[in-house]
Each structure stands twice: as structure tokens, then as C-alpha cells.
Structure 1
Amino acid sequence: MKIAALLLDWYDKNARDLPWRRDKDPYKIWVSEIMLQQTRVEAVKDYYERWIARFPTPGELARASEQEVLTYWQGLGYYSRARNLLAGVREVCADYGGSMPEEKEQVRALPGVGDYTAGAILSIAYNRRVPAVDGNVLRIFSRLFCLEEDILKAPAKRAVYRLVQEQIDRDRPGDFNQALMDLGAMICVPQRPRCPECPVRELCLAYERGVQEVLPVRSPKKAPAKVRLAAALLEQDGRYLICQRPAAGLLAGMWEFPSVELKDALPEADQLRNWLQSVFLLEVRVMEAEKQLIHTFSHRQWHMTFYRCRLLSAAPELPDKARWFSLNDGDRLPWAGPHHNVAVALRGNKE
């Protein structure tokens, strides 16, 4: 039997019950695929259900503000995904009457949509014979065909894409792609693949040669750069000072407790006090450290210390993008990364 036949027979008996698989709505498939980038399936389920309840159609999402969209994305991370999804849906509503286009070039041109996402949408929603090649598929096919090239590099990715094109089922391309997703999640996992349970092991060259745990070949990731930050927990009349990050860059437009990147020359407390004076014209005393945490992004790692601060004189008028904020209203704003956890902890201490 061919790979597709074995895989689909296994999928029919073992497919995961996932909320976005309950219909073929291309918008729902799009949302789920964007959420699943860099995020585990179990973590996505609740976010997906809540998202669809609030934004059940492209039109509902297109009419929402970016701040509300980011709030519903809160906790999923990689917030550029949410911004691109919003921009893409608005483009679909403006240019295609709210219906996802059916040509790969048009889908691929939408903000935040790559080859994999376009393939998933077109194959699952429209039964188009288009591969959807992600990390799972790269791993599976590198083992099936014993590919020794680095799968993170373009030649290996092109080779896998061609192989998937050759193998994809003509009648059930969407199920074929989803079967590969499930196989990669459940059987052909990165470490200690469960080969005895694999439906295609007899066709797998890596299994035949006993090198399934060696493949795929991947170049090592560069360690994220360490960045030290000090943040101010400054309270006045039951409200905390917060500010909005710049409109571009990391965590763009999201809200946080005022934070400064630290240098080595001065003590942390002095740097934070001087920065609050220069940016907000605030005279404060930096007191004890309330919380320390580490938050890792793909390219950098924040090492953060949150300091309790106390005003020493009346606060002047705040600049734009800053405000005094009640933590009881905390869920109405999209918080920047770890600042959300700190806000939740502070709110819990008040209750």
C-alpha cells in the first residue's frame, strides 16, 4: 500500500477530536492554524473556543479594534500573529466580500499566511491538493525517506515539499494533511518516536536503518540574548502607573508597568529611579523587590525585577501612552508578556 492509503486508514480510526475540525469553515481553520503556530494544541483549545464565541465570522473580527483583539489573544504570545490575522481578515472582507479566496496565490498574499497555512486552509476547507508542510511534516518525511540534509534549510524544505506533493491523496488532501499533523503529534514525535504504533513504519527508511532517533538533522538554535529589566510598581489611590509600548517592535502597542533596560554601571534601584524621573518627571523612592521572573522570547530572554515604588511628591500630568489604572479593570487591556501575570498577582493580593 502507498503512504497515503496507510496514513488515511490510521487517521480514520485515530483522528484527534479538535474543535476546529467540526466543520470546514475556512475562517475557523485559518484562526486555528494561526493560533497553533508556536503553541501546543491543548493550550489553544480554550482560546479558540473563546475567540470563535466573540468573533464567529470574518466580519465580526474585521469590525473589532486591535486592542480588543490583542486582549482576546492575551496569553498565546507572539502577538504579531493576532495583528496579522486581523489585517488579513480585514483584507478578505474588503477585497473578497468576507469569503476566503480559493487560489493559493491570493491566500498566500494575506498578512501572516505562509505556505503551510495556505496549504492547510485550501486542502481542508476546499479539498485542494496542496501540501501543508510544517515542522511535523519535515520530521516525518525526513525519516520516511532518510533525508540527511538540515531540515531548517531551504533545500531540505523544498525536497520535502516535492515529496509531499507526490504522496498527497487526490481525493482527501485535507485529511491527508491532518493525518500528518496527528502522526507528528502522536507517533512520530521529536524524541523517542513510537515506531511500533506507526502505520507507515514498514515504508520508513529511517526505521529500516535504525536511525529514526538520529533524524531529522537540525542546526542548533542560537541562545536568546539576555536582557535585564527593572519595572516599577507605583501605586496612587488604588491605581498603578502603566504605559503603552511603542506601536512597532516587540509586544507593540501592549501595556506594561514602566520598565527600563538595565546597564551595568549603576545599581538597579538607582537606574529605575533616574529613568522614572527623566521620562515621567516623577520623584519616587524605589523600595523592595516584589517579584523576579524570567520570560523567554524566540530571540531574547527578559530577566525582570519588579520593585515597589513610592511617590515622594505630587505626580505631574502624565505623558501620552501612560495612565493610572485600576487592576480591577486589568482584563480590558492587552498586557505585555509577563506583566499580565504580575497584574493578576497584585489584584489577587488586594482581594
Structure 2
Amino acid sequence: MVSLNGWQVETKRVAKFRGNLLKWFQAYHRKLPWRSCGQKPANPYHVLVSEFMLQQTQVATVIEYFNRFIKTLPTIEALASAKEQQVLQLWQGLGYYRRALHLHAAARMIIDRFDGQVPQTLENLSQLPGVGTYTAGAIASIAYDEKVAAIDGNVSRVISRLLAIEKPIDDGPTRRKLQSITEKLVPPHRPGIFNQALMELGALVCLPRRPRCSTCPVRQLCQAYLQGCVDRLPVRHPRRPPRSVTHHIFAIQKRNCHLVVQRPGKGLWSRLWQMPTAENLEAQKPSTRALQWIEDELGLVVETPERISTFNHQTTHRAIHFVLWHTTVISGRLRRGIGQWRRLGKTNDLAMANPQHTAVGLITRHTSHFTCRSTKSHSGLQSGRNLRR
């Protein structure tokens, strides 16, 4: 007998669950560029990169980024020796950029402390930046067939339905219980394949909404299915709504160039480049407040900013309303180490978050339209003078 969530489950039922799941996985698993499925030895570096990318991001989105990343940085040595901006550029558009910084730091630690080999044990993997309980378990089991659990959101959903767990799965005690249960389910033989099968079942069949129970290979063992409560599980605490904030982006022009600065190493969009952005301007008279902010922060005296456009962007915890301004430098000297003056079409080597790309596109169109209008006006004046002659 095996004790799972207070249920004394017959060993043969556990064996049937494992067998049905693995048989289904063998027939229906997705072909993914980092996945070996026992046909050949797993590449630990590929597993490492994919697991970092899969944190907070769906498989379908990750595939293209993974292929480009591996093509550019094919080994742990290549990643460790790469420049930070190159890593961030390869990650550009994937979001949650701190993952890229952690992966880069992890690669350097692997070279320095683990002789260039991705660690095999949970203890050593957990020392790497950005590696938590799930990521350590996934790498250890998938790359090295270590008998450990790997519980992501998909697995939590599958197990909570399998045993009809009605307590919130985002509570600490329930998470620990799920960990204990899953560890008992992981077989000693091919644990990495089993963990991938659990994740795949959650991704393809045991969906958050409208689960495909009719095609589930373990539905006759699923307590939620047998009790008719699949749609009510898993239970989670309500999420807090995103916090509404306003960011003011300033396109500061000096001759034919605009100022770009790098964000700090912590917080949203860490180490990415952007046009100067104020996140806490007063709502009243923002253009007047902006003049002081630009002088205080950057050391520049500028024309009163012209409001160009607004747009919105959603992150996990923030609903951001962007206000885009354009201005030109009158006097002052940019503070040392603050940023760079760049032509807007010459920023491809700088990693930027999507909202900044949007802003650059808007300013490019605005300035080209302004230049075009100025040129036409100038041509008209010249033509008029010629006619008068």
C-alpha cells in the first residue's frame, strides 16, 4: 500500500497509473527540440536553457527562442563567455528578463565551480542563481534520471484532481503535500520521462478550463473525475488585480540622436535599455514636472516636452499606461555614465523591452513626419521666392 493524501492506495493502482501515463506519453508527446524521450541521452545544457525559458512561459512560445539561443550559444562555455547584452538580446521578447540574467550567471558558476558540467544533484543545482525547487527537480530528473519530483503548475493541477484535493494549492502546507505525494508517485525507472509525462498530461489533457477527460489515460483512477468535481479543482486563492501605474517615456533629442539609458540590475526589465522613463511623476502638470526631473536625473536642460502618444502594456503585476513625450536639448551636459546618444535606427545591438520598441517606433514616425513637413515647407518657400523672381 502507498499512502497518498490520506488515501491508502494499492501498489498495483500506482503501477497502473504510471503505466497508463507512460504509454500515453510515448504515443502522444510533443516533439520538442530539447526533449530526448529516452531515444538518446538528454543534453543537460539544453535542459538547463529550456527550463529557464519555460518558467512563466508556454512551450509554444519558447520553441523559437530556444532554437535561436542554442544556435547562437551552443554550449555552456559559449553562454558563460557571452556578453550580458548578447544574452539579453537573444531573450528579447520572451519577457521576465531576470531569467536571462540568472541563466547567464548560472552558466558562469557552472564553469567556475562545477568544471563546466551542469550539476546532477538537487543540492548542487539549488546553488545556481534562479534555480528553485521545481527547476532543480526538472533538470535533475530529465537530464540525469534522478528519482526526484518536478512540480510545475501542470503537475499541481493533475495531482490535485487525481486525489480530489480541495485545499488551495498555493498554500504552503498544500504545496508541501503535493511535493510529498508526487515524490511517491515518481518511479525508480525512467523518472525523467515520468515527470515529463505528468507535465504533458497537464498541458494537453488536464487543462485548467474544459479538461479533456474523455481522452485522459488515467481518468478511471482520478478521484475528481469519479466524483464529478473536475471543474472545481484545483482550488487557488484569488489573485490580486494588477496595479495600475503610469510611466512617462522621454525621447530626448540632440541633433540627430536620442538618449538611451540602461535600467538598474534589479526590478522590472533589469539591465535592459530604454529611453529615459519616469515612473512616479505627479499627475498634474506632468510636462512641467518633467523639465525638473530631466535636469535632476540627467543634467540636461530641455525644451518643454511635447506629448506624442499613449499606449498600454500589461505585466503580471502591473497595468502600465505609457505616455510618450518628445523634447530637444537646450543646454547642459549628460551626467557621466548615464547613457548613450544613439540614432533611433542604430539601437539593434541594445536589448529593449517591448514597450520601448513601441516607443522607438512611434518617435521614429513622429520625427520623420516632422522632418518631412519641414522639408516640404522649406521647399515651398524656395519655390515661392523663385516664382517671385
Per the TM superposition, whether the score is higher than 0.5 is yes
Alignment of 1:214-225 (within 5 A): 214-225=232-243
Judged with a 3 Å threshold, the aligned counterparts in structure 2 of structure 1 residues 347 and 72 are, in CA distance, closer, same or farther, namely farther
Consecutive aligned runs of 4 or more in structure 1 exceeding 6 Å deviation: none
Partner residue, 2:378: none
Q: CA deviation at 1:234?
A: 2.2
Among 268, 279, 301, which residue is 2:319 paired with? Answer: 301
Residue type of the alignment partner of 1:211: C
Map Cα deviations across residues 180-205 of structure 1 (whole Å, 9 max, x no partner).
Answer: 11111111111111111111111111
Aligned residue for 2:34, secondary structure, equals: helix
Paired residues, what number?
Answer: 350
Among 48, 55, 73, which residue is 2:73 paired with? Answer: 55
CA contact under 8 A between 2:69 and 2:90: conserved in structure 1?
yes
Q: Which residues of structure 1 form unaligned runs of 5+?
A: none
Map Cα deviations across residues 278-306 of structure 1 (whole Å, 9 max, x no partner).
Answer: 22333333454333222233333321111
Aligned residue for 2:230, secondary structure, equals: coil
Partner residue, 2:30: 16
Alignment of 1:196-275 (within 5 A): 196-264=214-282, 266-275=284-293
Aligned residue for 1:283, secondary structure, equals: strand
Partner residue, 2:344: 327
CA contact under 8 A between 2:45 and 2:76: conserved in structure 1?
yes
Partner residue, 2:138: 120
Map Cα deviations across residues 103-147 of structure 1 (whole Å, 9 max, x no partner).
Answer: 211112211111111111111111111111011111110000000
Separation (CA, whole Å) in 2 of partners of 1:49 and 1:40: 15
CA contact under 8 A between 2:246 and 2:279: conserved in structure 1?
yes
Among 181, 194, 198, which residue is 1:163 paired with? Answer: 181
Separation (CA, whole Å) in 2 of partners of 1:183 and 1:217: 19
Q: CA deviation at 1:271?
A: 2.0
Q: CA deviation at 1:257?
A: 0.9
Partner residue, 2:123: 105
CA contact under 8 A between 2:302 and 2:331: conserved in structure 1?
no
Separation (CA, whole Å) in 1 of partners of 2:363 and 2:27: 48
Among 47, 58, 61, which residue is 1:29 paired with? Answer: 47
CA contact under 8 A between 1:330 and 1:343: conserved in structure 2?
no
245-254 or 154-163, which deviates more:
245-254
CA contact under 8 A between 1:150 and 1:217: conserved in structure 2?
yes
Map Cα deviations across residues 211-260 of structure 1 (whole Å, 9 max, x no partner).
Answer: 10100010011223222121111223332111122233332322111111
Separation (CA, whole Å) in 2 of partners of 1:348 and 1:14: 48
Q: CA deviation at 1:102?
A: 1.6
Partner residue, 1:6: 20
Residue type of the alignment partner of 1:177: N
Aligned residue for 1:290, secondary structure, equals: strand
> What is the TM-score when the length of structure 1 is the normalising length?
0.93
195-204 or 162-171, which deviates more:
162-171
Aligned residue for 2:347, secondary structure, equals: helix
Judged with a 3 Å threshold, the aligned counterparts in structure 2 of structure 1 residues 128 and 78 are, in CA distance, closer, same or farther, namely same
Q: CA deviation at 1:345?
A: 5.0
232-241 or 153-162, which deviates more:
232-241
CA contact under 8 A between 2:307 and 2:325: conserved in structure 1?
yes
Alignment of 1:79-98 (within 5 A): 79-98=97-116
Separation (CA, whole Å) in 2 of partners of 1:171 and 1:347: 58
Q: CA deviation at 1:318?
A: 4.2
CA contact under 8 A between 2:93 and 2:353: conserved in structure 1?
no
Partner residue, 2:168: 150
Map Cα deviations across residues 305-346 of structure 1 (whole Å, 9 max, x no partner).
Answer: 1112233x2453443222211222322112145113322455
Separation (CA, whole Å) in 2 of partners of 1:243 and 1:320: 9
Residue type of the alignment partner of 1:9: K
Separation (CA, whole Å) in 2 of partners of 1:191 and 1:89: 37
> What is the TM-score when the length of structure 2 is the normalising length?
0.85
Counterpart check, 1:64 vs 2:79: no
Partner residue, 1:77: 95
Map Cα deviations across residues 74-103 of structure 1 (whole Å, 9 max, x no partner).
Answer: 111111111111111111111111011222
9-18 or 122-131, which deviates more:
122-131
Residue type of the alignment partner of 1:150: P
Q: Which residues of structure 2 form unaligned runs of 5+?
A: 1-12, 370-389
Residue type of the alignment partner of 1:184: G
Judged with a 3 Å threshold, the aligned counterparts in structure 2 of structure 1 residues 162 and 343 are, in CA distance, closer, same or farther, namely same
